[in-house]
Chains A and B, each alone.
Chain A
Amino acid sequence: MAEEKKVYSRTKGVLENTVSGFCPGCMHSTVHKIVGEAAEELGKLDKLVRVEGVGCCGLGQFYVSHDAIIAAHGRGCAVATGIKRSSPDSLVYTYQGDGDLAAIGLGETMSAANRGENFTVIFVNNGIYGMTGGQMAPTTLLGMKSTTSPAGRSAEEHGYPMHMCEILNQLTAPYYLERVSCDTPQNVIKARNAIKKAFQYQLDGKGFSMVEVVTSCPTNWGLSTIDSLDFLREKMFAEYPLGVYRDGGEKKK
């Protein structure tokens, strides 16, 4: 009789018997899963602290099985600073969307990164405000329609998309910056490894790291789940190239 071997089980980082309410085709649930897997593989689920932004990212509080605090919109990096400085043994990550991190929270993000705060930012970039109904975000692509740029984003009126990995890469302090996606199984594995690496760097006391996950928002993009994957690969990846922007660990090798 062939021996049975368990090759996969659901991470304990998300609640059992809970189904996420994210829209079909949204990658938030995948990102939640890989965050849980990364911490679990490091044996640190019992030290894991989630600092949650406001927006769709703020729904995670109902799905995760580890400690979580809801930050005011944009203040994730300030709240995480308070937590990590007061409880250095905790494994702290913020979970923020593009409006939260790059618009209202830009000051907190830049300053925490510049101080080299020893926590991890998971930045989910889908180029739009999801929960509030599809308004323009700092990361909305040129020409992309939103409820507040009904004729499409124009450079003249709205300026250009903001690239957070590239912007933070101008600072000296950040230790690790990588942009990933979750559109294919391969990319999910890459994303999980990136998060795990960022967590490991935090455990080693290396300072600030950010993993930007470029994702889709079929609902507010007005596309089918399949079409939105095409849009993601053709348009979003063109504006937001995947890859490692900085890795303090590599540099030293």
Chain B
Amino acid sequence: MSERVFMKGCEAIAEAATRAGCRFFAGYPITPQNEIPEYFARRMPEVGGTFVQAESEVASVNMLYGAASTGIRAMSSSSSTGISLYSEGISYSASARLPIVYVNVQRGGPGIGAIQPSQQDYMQATKASGNGGFRMIVLAPSTVQECVDMVYESFDLAERDHNPVLILTDGVVGTMMEPVVLPPMKSDEEIQKLRDAFKYRAIIGHPLGEAAYCRPGSVGSGQEQVNIEADKLYKTWDKDVRVEEYLTEDAEIIIAAYGISARICRAVIKQLRAQGYKIGMIRPIRVSPFPYEAFSNIDFDRVKGILNVEMSIPAQMRWDVDYAVQGRCPIRECLRSGGQLLTNEQVMKAAQEMIKEVL
């Protein structure tokens, strides 16, 4: 077992990606994710990889698209308003079925918003990261350790599905430091093996008669066929749902929260439990595919209310919770946005109000 090291979320993301075999990174400066490209700028030359500071987010994501087409493990990162400019390249990658990994360290929005943390890109991340109705697996870490573990596995997921994968984190997790245990470094041989497995379709040049074409779109019925195949893939994702049910067995109130909000809620739940209140939490570890069943299977004879906690105004994940709950119990909200941080105290107050209302 490796020793724990004290790392910043963004740097841990970059190191975990390097250890997972990522050898290409393109990015453009935007707060609060600058430590990711800065780390890659130092780290890639050490491992024979490539770092490019692109001229824009539009260029970053298209460099990523090009790099991924060669079979190299490639990643990019940005934040909220920058991620909006990624839509084009992400949509192209989904259509061309290229395995890319990218990170959104969310900040306040809409527009330029605020450089401080938020969770305001949930809908964009889970429903429409670009035109055309494609889907992605979206991982939502709540600790620096989860950043590391999720980034490490994201490349495998992307390559398994030949589809983009998004790490949806925020400016708190991205800039905070925490102790982490890092995964092992993949050897050059392992990395080459992964790349060789992609070689048949890699855009690197082939002997005549074996040419590879990367086409994010087609004529005639070709594009519909691409969509039908993609839909088949999405339908296999029931197995990819990851959800944490925290102290829900006897809970009378359930908090719904993900990422940074979930970790704040956990502390509040502990305090309220100590006071004798039966309160628990359902935390989507991956926000796409969403764990609808965890919510629809709630015993509504026992559970009297759901408190939806997000750093977004208006609430966004609530739409998914509503869809699963179908009005079977009241849902209340505890929200911040625009770069204002949710605090233990605020969640505590909202939970106490809900206790008063429904218990």
Chain B residues whose C-beta falls within 8 Å of the C-beta of A91 in the assembled complex: 205
Report the number of A-B residue pairs with Cβ-Cβ less than 8 Å.
Answer: 136
Contact present for A47 and B208 (CB under 8 Å): no
Contact present for A72 and B89 (CB under 8 Å): yes
Bound-state CA distance A203–B203 (Å) is 17
The one of A44, A75, A90 that contacts B89, using a Cβ cutoff of 8 Å: A75
- Taking the nearest CB of chain B, how far is it from the CB of A203, in angstroms? 12
Q: Is the interface of A mostly helix, strand, loop or mixed?
A: mixed
B98, closest chain A residue (CB): A69
Produce 1/0 per residue, B133-164, CB < 8 A to A. 00000000000000000000000000000000
Which residues of A from 3 to 59 have beta carbons under 8 Å from B? 12, 44-49, 51
Give the number of chain A interface residues (Cβ < 8 Å).
35
A169 interface residue per 8 A CB criterion: no
A61 interface residue per 8 A CB criterion: yes
Which residues of A from 43 to 85 have beta carbons under 8 Å from B? 44-49, 51, 61, 64-72, 75, 78-83, 85
Contact present for A65 and B208 (CB under 8 Å): yes
Contact present for B59 and A66 (CB under 8 Å): no
Bound-state CA distance A68–B66 (Å) is 11
B349 interface residue per 8 A CB criterion: no
- Taking the nearest CB of chain A, how far is it from the CB of B18, in angstroms? 15
A152 interface residue per 8 A CB criterion: no
The one of A12, A61, A75, A78 that contacts B215, using a Cβ cutoff of 8 Å: A61
Produce 1/0 per residue, B191-223, CB < 8 A to A. 000000000001111111101111111000000
- Taking the nearest CB of chain A, how far is it from the CB of B49, in angstroms? 9
Produce 1/0 per residue, A177-218, CB < 8 A to B. 000000000000000000000000000000000000000000
The contact size tier of chain B is 35 or more
The one of B24, B59, B207, B208 that contacts A111, using a Cβ cutoff of 8 Å: B59
Contact present for B67 and A46 (CB under 8 Å): no
Q: Please, could you name 22 A-B residue pairs with CB atoms under 8 Å apart, sorted by A?
A: A47-B204, A49-B205, A51-B66, A61-B213, A67-B204, A67-B213, A71-B62, A72-B88, A78-B59, A78-B60, A79-B62, A79-B65, A79-B66, A82-B66, A83-B67, A83-B203, A86-B70, A87-B202, A90-B203, A107-B58, A107-B59, A108-B58
Q: Knowing that A47-B205, A69-B96 touch, tell me 19 more A-B residue pairs with CB under 8 angstroms.
A: A46-B208, A49-B204, A65-B211, A66-B206, A67-B203, A70-B96, A71-B62, A72-B216, A75-B59, A79-B69, A82-B68, A83-B70, A86-B67, A86-B72, A87-B70, A87-B72, A89-B205, A108-B62, A111-B55
Chain B residues within CB distance 8 Å of chain A: 23-24, 26, 50, 52, 54-56, 58-60, 62-70, 72, 74, 88-89, 92, 96, 202-209, 211-217
